[in-house]
């Protein structure tokens, strides 16, 4: 399983202004810190957990056992660049494969596949890559994020006393994420 190393600090998927427009309020009327530090990261985490794809651009790292051959899929969808390939030596140390072995990253709609045209390097590999959804190409994903952010803003607590909330059918809202959802692997 890949682990996120860090988000791109400059890359923002949603802004406070985007959420304000979705909520039909002025940006100055929102609690900007709540939206920016809690709601937006929360809905991005929801989307990433639901889809298996990177929504906000970030760097990921995953270990490939020797059984993963050339052409195997990366764990996180929407990968767009391989940053480093290292071999895990028997004693646990890492050897940087420099220059980077000749490779080809095949970016599909849902999954990305890493090919080594001249042959996969031997041993356990540690692959570091960048991934992030292109929201211009998948506007439904941005709409899903905005809908979830507006709902989270309106209903900031987990329990609402005396009110029955009816959620939009998940097959409607989740279909907005379908284009980038990584298929199950087993």
Considering only 64-68, 78-82, 127-131, 172-176, which range has the smallest mean pLDDT?
Answer: 172-176
The pLDDT value recorded for residue 181 is: 85
Q: In this predicted model, what pLDDT tens digit does every residue of 5-22 receive, in sequence order?
A: 999 877 889 999 999 999
Confidence class for position 100, pLDDT limits 50, 70, 90: confident
Label residue 186 by pLDDT band (50, 70, 90): low
Residue 1 CA to residue 21 CA, distance in Å, equals 36
Q: How many helices (H) and strands (E) does the chain have?
A: 5, 8
Q: For 122-137, write each residue's pLDDT tens digit.
A: 999 999 999 999 999 9
pLDDT at 27: 81
User: Which range, of 64-73, 104-113, 125-134, 171-180, averages the lowest pLDDT?
Assistant: 171-180
- Averaged pLDDT of the chain: 88
Q: Mean pLDDT, to the nearest integer, of 139-164?
A: 80
């Amino acid at each position: 399983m890949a682990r996120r190393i860090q988000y791109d600090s400059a890359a923002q998927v949603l802004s406070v202004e985007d959420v304000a427009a979705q909520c039909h309020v002025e940006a100055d009327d929102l609690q900007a810190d709540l939206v920016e530090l809690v709601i937006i990261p929360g809905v991005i985490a929801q989307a990433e957990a639901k889809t298996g794809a990177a929504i906000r651009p970030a760097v990921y790292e995953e270990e490939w056992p020797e059984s993963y051959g050339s052409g195997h899929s990366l764990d996180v969808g929407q990968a767009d660049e391989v940053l480093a390939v290292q071999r895990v030596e028997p004693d646990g140390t890492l050897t940087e494969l420099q220059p980077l072995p000749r490779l080809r990253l095949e970016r599909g709609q849902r999954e990305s596949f890493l090919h080594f045209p001249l042959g996969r390097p031997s041993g356990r590999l540690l692959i570091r890559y960048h991934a992030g959804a292109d929201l211009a190409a998948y506007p439904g994903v941005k709409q899903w994020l905005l809908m979830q952010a507006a709902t989270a803003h309106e209903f900031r607590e987990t329990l609402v006393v005396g009110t029955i909330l009816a959620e939009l059918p998940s097959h409607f809202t989740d279909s907005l994420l379908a284009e980038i959802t990584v298929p199950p692997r087993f």
